Structure 1
């Protein structure tokens, strides 16, 4: 059963007394005054309200009856109901013959305010439950079966395919206000789900749309001043299990982007899949062995010249002339540098798989 609190009770009083020239009291289910236009009457027991609560009916009190009751003045006292449950009492002070025409109107308005507050509370609770469910997508300790059961309990109808995004918010500004604005934009349609993950992060789970232009969407977000720093986008997913995996993959993509492309604002898993996978395993013994030849080169590259040469060589697919032009050096100079890389690493640079090894490795080892 809904319980009246002092905040709601005083709100009812203030709204009513802004219109009527009579004092209004609101009593709780024990007959205590918890809202009143007369501060001296707050937190006192109202015996007239107790009569209402005991008999579940309107009680009118004139001057003679008021003299016999404690904490009571002349007026009309009515039961306050919510969903047919008696939750408190509304009192309007004055001669019953005078205030009676207003009493029922005030009660109707009060019950509407109670209903409005209850609807708001239920929406807040549903929002809280949805936020918690979306955050659990990033927690491997919560099983997919538990996620499915919780989604069913909340009545979440997840149509597939979907796509999950991470949104990073710009530093500066008030993060709660930024999040509130973004929630309004992202959840304009019921099939779009969004939730804050932290003060500067948000999750957006959206239906897949083949024609969506995320670059243009970012531009539009900038025009509206939404304060977005970066948008990271997953592959399409076809089930709740894949949605969980996509969320975890986005965390890896985010770590990769922050390390290698800190200024890149739109990052998709499709474009950086292999590099993200390797970056997530960058500290493993197996991958460290794979990186060993490149590390041998970089250890002897005090001025960064060999790294710059390798990056250009891989970018231009081993094409000597285009690589030399990009570096602004002679072809022979390029050959000399590549021979030095081959000597230090023991890697045959003419082989595509070896160039790929070095190219991917460069993305895993931070420049000094």
Structure 2
């Protein structure tokens, strides 16, 4: 990375607040690209050219200014980035008075260059992963070999491993993605990316997802089943999304493996579902909400009367009365297995 006009101006604006002597930044060709003295921008700096040729610091006294073109007394130091000369920084003044500030400026510029480089690399890699993710999730037929090849040669990752997808639904997906990257810093993950308007996708190497703390995350969290390579990631993503759709409590991960029956019923043929359930669904919708709440808890507690009454904070006889009323008004008895399956299917599709 080299010092450019835009980068130099940004650095000068920051440094000039703390250093009260004139500062010049020169590119690897010796041209002043940024300066606290705008009239010098664009000029060639003789001292910087010497630094570039020797890669050594150049200290110019008042008596030596005539030896160089377009210079003033001061200290000129080389700026390196990843072993390559990126430019030169020059501070105007008596060399013995500005050398220390020049060294600090040199270090600050090199640190700034590295930070900007890392940010750009991260941004570029995130864009590549976003493109890869779009190809994986938004096309009906995926080219598995091409996706594996792109991950290997462009992103430098071997995706032929077992992965597990976590999907987070949040109002601020970009902030959540940054928090998750910090939280998963020691984990083996493929990527953590904001996706669409309110979603963050994290792809972790299995079985890392099972031991992560989620208590402090104000989000719906769906966890798909482990899957191998690109097809496994795609399938695990769909499972995680479906888990959120079927059941969700913020801060508590919803594992697809715990919702096998619900997933099966959720994917019943639409025509058959409406044909069988329409009349019962209409009747159930006309009931007061307390009946649907009671029915949901009854199934959630494995159709156990005492446990359901305890969770609802009602007497067992009250529960029996509600179930009797529901049976009479809807035409299905949730205490009978076949009727319970139909009612559970209706609740899942509500």
TM superposition score normalised by structure 1: 0.67
What stretches of structure 1 of length at least 5 have no aligned partner?
Answer: 343-347
Answer yes or no: is 1:288 the counterpart of 2:265.
no
Following superposition, the deviation at residue 252 of structure 1 comes to: 3.0
Deviations 1:106-153 (A, max 9, x none): 686367333454344334434554455456543335533233123213
Residue of structure 2 in register with 1:329 after alignment? 321
Q: How many residues align structurally?
A: 337
Matches within 5 A, 1:108-147: 109=107, 112-113=110-111, 114-130=113-129, 132-134=131-133, 137-140=136-139, 143-147=143-147
**Would the alpha carbon gap of residues 183 and 239 (structure 1) be closer, same or farther in structure 2, given more than 3 Å must change?**
same
8 Å contact from structure 2 (residues 164, 227) kept in 1: yes
Residue of structure 2 in register with 1:218 after alignment? 214
8 Å contact from structure 1 (residues 161, 236) kept in 2: yes
Following superposition, the deviation at residue 26 of structure 1 comes to: 0.7
For residues 280 and 41 of structure 1, the distance between their equivalents in structure 2, rounded to whole angstroms, comes to 71
For residues 313 and 47 of structure 1, the distance between their equivalents in structure 2, rounded to whole angstroms, comes to 79
Deviations 1:243-276 (A, max 9, x none): 211112323333334xxx5779542212223433
SS of the residue corresponding to residue 180 of structure 2 reads helix
8 Å contact from structure 2 (residues 79, 86) kept in 1: yes
SS of the residue corresponding to residue 25 of structure 1 reads strand
**Would the alpha carbon gap of residues 55 and 64 (structure 1) be closer, same or farther in structure 2, given more than 3 Å must change?**
same
Residue of structure 1 in register with 2:32 after alignment? 33
Answer yes or no: is 1:186 the counterpart of 2:184.
yes
8 Å contact from structure 2 (residues 162, 232) kept in 1: no
SS of the residue corresponding to residue 157 of structure 2 reads coil
Matches within 5 A, 1:150-169: 150-153=150-153, 154-157=155-158, 160-169=161-170
For residues 89 and 289 of structure 2, the distance between their equivalents in structure 1, rounded to whole angstroms, comes to 83
Following superposition, the deviation at residue 185 of structure 1 comes to: 0.8
Residue of 227, 249, 255 corresponding to 1:268? 255
**Would the alpha carbon gap of residues 255 and 143 (structure 1) be closer, same or farther in structure 2, given more than 3 Å must change?**
farther
For residues 199 and 144 of structure 2, the distance between their equivalents in structure 1, rounded to whole angstroms, comes to 23
**Would the alpha carbon gap of residues 5 and 306 (structure 1) be closer, same or farther in structure 2, given more than 3 Å must change?**
closer
**Would the alpha carbon gap of residues 126 and 271 (structure 1) be closer, same or farther in structure 2, given more than 3 Å must change?**
same
What stretches of structure 2 of length at least 5 have no aligned partner?
Answer: 310-315
